[in-house]
Chain A
Amino acid sequence: MNYLLAPIAALGRVIITFITETGSILILLFLALRNSLRRPYRFKLILEQMEFIGVNSMGIITLTGFFTGAVFALQTGKVFRLFNAEGYTGMVVGISLVRELAPVLTSLMVAARAGSAIAAKLGTMRVTHQIDALMVMAVDPVNYLIVPRFIATTLVMPVLTAYFDFIGILGSYVVGVVLLGINEGIFVYRIEWMVDVGDISHGLIKSSVFGALIAIISCHKGFYSGGGAEGVGRSTTEAVVLSSISIFVADYVITALVI
C-alpha cells in the first residue's frame, strides 16, 4: 500500500509547496504595492537601486545584446542568401529582437546579476538580524528594503531593454552590412518598414512585467531566508532559477493574450 501511496503523497507535497510559495509571493507583492503608496517615499533609495540594477548592468547588456544581434544576423543572413533574400535579414532580426529576444534576454541577465544580489543581500540581512533591527527601530522593512527594489527594477527594465534593442540591431548591422555585405539602405529600410512603435512598446511593457517578477521573487527569497549562510546561498540560487522560469512562463502568457 505504501508503495502505491508514496508517489501520490510526494506529488501532493510538491503541489502544496507550489501553492504555499505562490501565495506567499503574492502576499508580499500585495504588501509591496500597498506600501509603495505609503509614506515615507524613499526616492534616494529608489535611485540607488536604479543605479545598482540599471547602470551596473549596462556592460553585460552591451555584450549580450551585441552578440545576440550579431549571431542572429549571421544565421538568418546565411539562410536568406539561399533565396537571394538577404535584404530581409535586418527586418527579421529587428522584429524578433524587439518583441522577444531583448525583453527576455535582458530580464534573464538582470535576474542573474541583480536578482541574485537582491536575494543575497536581503538573506544576509535576515540571518544576521538586520531585518529584525529595522523592525525594532520601528522601520517597516517592506517599505525600506522591498519597495525601492521593486519600483527600481520595474522602471529600469524597459530602459535596459530599449538599450538591448539598440545594441542588438547595431550588432546585426555590423554582421549584415559590414561582414555579409548586405546593402545598407535596404537593411535599414526593411527594419523601419517592419518594426513599428507597437512592437517596441510590446517588448518594453513585457520587460517591465518581468522586472516586477524578478524583484518580488528575489526579495521574497531573501526576505524569508533562513538557516544561516548556507540558507542564504540556497535562497540566492532559488531566486535566479524561479525568476528565470517565471520570465518564460509570463512571456508566453502575455504574448498569447495580446496576439
Chain B
Amino acid sequence: MIDVQDLHKSFKQQVVLDGASIFFAEGKITTILGGSGSGKSVLVKHIIGLLRPDSGTIVVDGQDLETLDDRELLQVRKKFGYLFQDSALFDFMNVFDNISFPLFEHTRLKRSEVQHVVAEKLRLVGLAGIEKKMPSELSGGMKKRVALARAVALDPKIIIYDEPTTGLDPVMTDTVNDLIATTQEALGITTIVISHDIRSSLRISDFLGLLNEGKIVEFGTPEKVQESEHPMMRLFLAGIERAPVSKS
C-alpha cells in the first residue's frame, strides 16, 4: 500500500507537482493518466525515492520515506520493479546478464539457481531461450519484455510501468497490456501504470487517477472515471470516440 499526500515539487521556477495526493491499493492495478509533461514520471520517481519532495508525505508499506536515509531508501527500492519507457536495458550486457543483474546484486543465489530464475522470467514474458542475445539485436517490443523480466526478477511487491505502450503499434499495445494484467495476476503485485493511453487504461486498471496541473483531479474505478465531468478527462475520453473517425 502506497499513500501519497499533498506532494509539492518544483524545478527552479517550474511548478510540476502542486499538492498531488493519490493512493495505490495493494494487489491492484492503478493507472495515472495525464498529458505529456504533466509530471507523471516525476510523481512516481518520488514514490521510489529517486526524487525528494519539496513538501508532502509518501508512505510505502507503513514507512514514511521522509524519515529514511539513503541506505534505508535503497532497501525500500528493493520492493519495487520499474519498467522504463525506453526499457533502459544495459546495452553492454546480454539478456541473461541484464535479468540476472539484480539477482547477483541482492541475493546469494548460486549461478545455477540464477539461471533457473532468468529462464522462468523469460518464459513469463514469452521470450524463452534468448539469454545470449544482446539488447541491440532485439526489437523495441522485445526489449520492453526483457526489461519487464528484469523488473520482476526479484519478485517485487510493487511494479511501476512508465508509459508501457507509448510508441508501440496496436497489436504490440494489446500484447503489453495483456502482459501487465497477467503479470499482476500471476504474481499478485501492486501495479502502478503511467499512461496517456486511456483506452488501454480503462481496460486493465482497477483504479485510475488523472494528473492535471500538478494535482490528481479525478480518481476512481474505470466506471466512475468515465462519468467524470472534468474537462481534461472529457478530452481524454473524447480521444477514444474520435479515433475511428480519424481513421477514415
- B-binding residues in A (CB < 8 A): 124-125, 128-130, 132-133, 135-140
Contacts and interface: CB of A to CB of B under 8 A. Distances in A.
Contacts of A124: 91
Given A135-B50, A136-B48, A137-B77, A130 B88 contact: yes
Interface in B62-107: 74-75, 77-78, 80, 82, 84, 86, 88-91, 101-102, 105-106
Nearest to B77: A138
A129 B84 contact: yes
Contacts of B74: 138, 140
Contact of B101 (A125, A135, A137, A140): A137
Interface in B129-176: none
A137 B84 contact: no
15 contacts: A128-B91, A129-B84, A130-B88, A132-B84, A133-B88, A133-B89, A133-B90, A136-B50, A136-B80, A137-B77, A137-B101, A138-B74, A139-B101, A139-B102, A139-B105
A47 to B, nearest CB: 16
Give the interface size class of chain B.
10 to 19
Interface hub of A124, A138, A139, A140 (most chain B Cβ within 10 A):
A138
Contacts of A132: 50, 84, 88
Contacts of B102: 137-139
Nearest to B85: A129
B86 A136 contact: no
A135 B88 contact: no
Contacts of B77: 135-138
B86 A138 contact: no
Contact of A129 (B48, B75, B86, B106): B86
Contacts of B75: 138
A133 B84 contact: yes
A136 B73 CA distance: 10
B91 A138 contact: no
A160 B51 CA distance: 41
Given A130-B90, A132-B88, A138-B105, 10 more contacts: A130-B91, A132-B50, A133-B88, A133-B90, A135-B50, A136-B82, A138-B74, A138-B75, A138-B78, A139-B101
B155 to A, nearest CB: 13
Given A129-B84, A132-B50, A137 B105 contact: yes
B194 to A, nearest CB: 14
Nearest to B71: A140
B100 to A, nearest CB: 12
Q: Which of A125, A128, A132, A133 has the most CB of B within 10 A?
A: A133
Given A136-B77, A137-B77, A140-B74, A129 B88 contact: yes
A138 B75 CA distance: 7
Contacts of B50: 132, 135-136
Nearest to A127: B86
A135 B58 CA distance: 18
Contacts of A133: 82, 84, 88-90
B246 to A, nearest CB: 30
A137 B86 CA distance: 16
Contacts of B91: 124, 128, 130
A93 B174 CA distance: 72
In the A-B complex, the 5 residue pairs with the smallest Cβ-Cβ separation, listed nearest first, are A129-B88, A136-B82, A133-B88, A138-B77, A138-B74
A125 B90 CA distance: 8
A137 B101 CA distance: 9
Contacts of A137: 77, 101-102, 105
A185 to B, nearest CB: 53
Contacts of A136: 48, 50, 77, 80, 82
Nearest to A140: B74
Contacts of A135: 50, 77
A19 to B, nearest CB: 19
A138 B82 CA distance: 11
A1 to B, nearest CB: 26
B103 to A, nearest CB: 10
A45 to B, nearest CB: 12
A135 B86 CA distance: 16
A72 B150 CA distance: 56
A141 to B, nearest CB: 11
Residue picked from B77, B88, B105, most chain A C-beta under 10 Å: B88
B45 to A, nearest CB: 8
